[in-house]
Amino acid sequence: MRPRVSICLPNLNTLPFLGERFDTIFGQTLRDWEMFVYDSYSDDGGWELIRQRAAGDNRIRITQGPREGPYPAWNECLRQTTAEFVYIATSDDTMAPDCLEKMVAALDRHQDCDLAHCPFIAIDERGVPVAAPRWPECTPFGVGLEKLMDQPHVHRAPYDGLLHLMGRIVYNSITQLLVRRSLFARIGSFQTRWGSVGDFNWEMRAGLVANTVHVPDTWASWRIREGQATAAAQLMSREHFQKVDEMIAEAFTVCEPLLHPTVATGLRSHWIRWTKEMRDYYSELREQPNLLQRRLYQVGQLFWGSSAARSQLIGSLLGRPKWPAAAPTEMRMWLESIGISPVILL
């Protein structure tokens, strides 16, 4: 009989944290899992530790492959494993002992959901919780739904997918998700063309077609360590926003045949264009070097800018919330107007 969970553990030179990651997997209250470890020829002693920890445990298979980024490792795990559920266990992170058990139970209870989602805790290199980034404030997942973040509830498709149109990460870390394997057959595996941010594309595809059950009483971690400040700066670059535009367009193209016709029409006729104009407006505004240049840019947009930019500026003059704060509510209201309840309290 196949195991309940396939755990994918990709690794490249994370020896200081790798033992802790193994400990949190072996310490799971759910024991019915298989693990596939993909090491990208680590030269810090990590491969030797992997071989040691895998010895004698027939639930674990290990291999090495080229350094092509995380997604080839994740995809190889999908090819090499068989369990109903898939969990990506990034090698420098951790999770609560009951994380897999509670997310599996949630998906067992809610057969209409293909994703289980839990909170995350940011930790430092020593494993100590840090103040920022703080979930859920660091993503749009809970905007306007703050009172529900401590309660089990379901985000119905395509709500989480729509949230990606803001250009922001909705599921902050892949470690927050347990995925029903059948979802990959519907939307495909992880794309490699956008480098280390490509999970945004897969998660948008998933959010457009899959219901997500939120499991509040467990957690996964996201480790903040050296080198991530540079990566965070790159997320504000023009190149990154171009990748976001490409990932959004590709996600819609893949998922359009799977969407309700009214949703597909609304995305095609309004939401994709409107949200791109908003993303462009705020991206250009952030690039202005000082307050005077920002004001001049806004005046120009008021008279000659996109319809979305003009709407945002007029709304600001009238005291309305800015788009990044208002967008999730606008998306929920649109879905309700076409007969879809985007959030269901359990």
pLDDT tens per residue across span 290-311: 999 999 988 899 889 899 889 9
What pLDDT does residue 235 have? 60
| Mean pLDDT calculated for residue range 116-124 | 95
What pLDDT does residue 316 have? 87
**Are 144 and 84 in the same domain?**
no
Look up residue 122 and give its DSSP letter: E
- Of all residues in the chain, the percent with pLDDT exceeding 90 is 81
| Mean pLDDT calculated for residue range 171-187 | 96
**Are 71 and 124 in the same domain?**
no
- Cβ atoms < 10 Å from Cβ of 248: 23
**Are 55 and 144 in the same domain?**
no
pLDDT tens per residue across span 233-247: 466 677 888 999 999
**Are 136 and 258 in the same domain?**
yes
What pLDDT does residue 246 have? 96
**Are 24 and 120 in the same domain?**
no
**Are 74 and 144 in the same domain?**
no
- For residue 162, the number of C-alpha atoms closer than 13 Å in the C-beta half-sphere is 26
Look up residue 91 and give its DSSP letter: T
pLDDT tens per residue across span 76-101: 999 999 999 999 999 999 999 999 99
What pLDDT does residue 240 have? 86
As to burial, measured by CB atoms within 10 angstroms (0-12 exposed, 13-18 middle, 19+ buried), residue 216 is: middle
First and final CA of the chain: distance in angstroms? 31
What pLDDT does residue 43 have? 95
What pLDDT does residue 75 have? 94
Angle at 228 between CA 222 and CA 230, to 5 degrees: 155
**Are 12 and 139 in the same domain?**
no
**Are 260 and 130 in the same domain?**
yes
**Are 86 and 114 in the same domain?**
no
Q: How confident is the model at residue 139 (pLDDT cuts 50, 70, 90)?
A: very high
What pLDDT does residue 228 have? 52
Q: Taking 90 as the threshold, does the pLDDT of residue 232 lie above it?
A: no
Q: Examine the fold and report which residue of 52, 73, 92 is the final residue of a domain before the chain moves on.
A: 92
**Are 316 and 297 in the same domain?**
yes
Domain that residue 53 falls in = 1-92
**Are 110 and 201 in the same domain?**
yes
Closest CA relative to residue 118, chosen from 152, 147, 156: 152
**Are 23 and 155 in the same domain?**
no
Q: Examine the fold and report which residue of 71, 92, 113 is the final residue of a domain before the chain moves on.
A: 92
| Mean pLDDT calculated for residue range 250-270 | 97
As to burial, measured by CB atoms within 10 angstroms (0-12 exposed, 13-18 middle, 19+ buried), residue 153 is: middle
Look up residue 8 and give its DSSP letter: E
* Domain count across the chain: 2
Q: Taking 70 as the threshold, does the pLDDT of residue 189 lie above it?
A: yes
Q: How confident is the model at residue 229 (pLDDT cuts 50, 70, 90)?
A: very low
Q: Tell me the torsion sign for CA atoms 205, 208, 209, 215.
A: positive
CATH classification at residue 80: 3.90.550.10
Which helix H or strand E contains 38, and what residues bound it?
strand 33-39
- Cβ atoms < 10 Å from Cβ of 95: 24
* Paired sense of beta strands 120-123 and 220-223, if any: parallel
Q: Examine the fold and report which residue of 76, 92, 108 is the final residue of a domain before the chain moves on.
A: 92
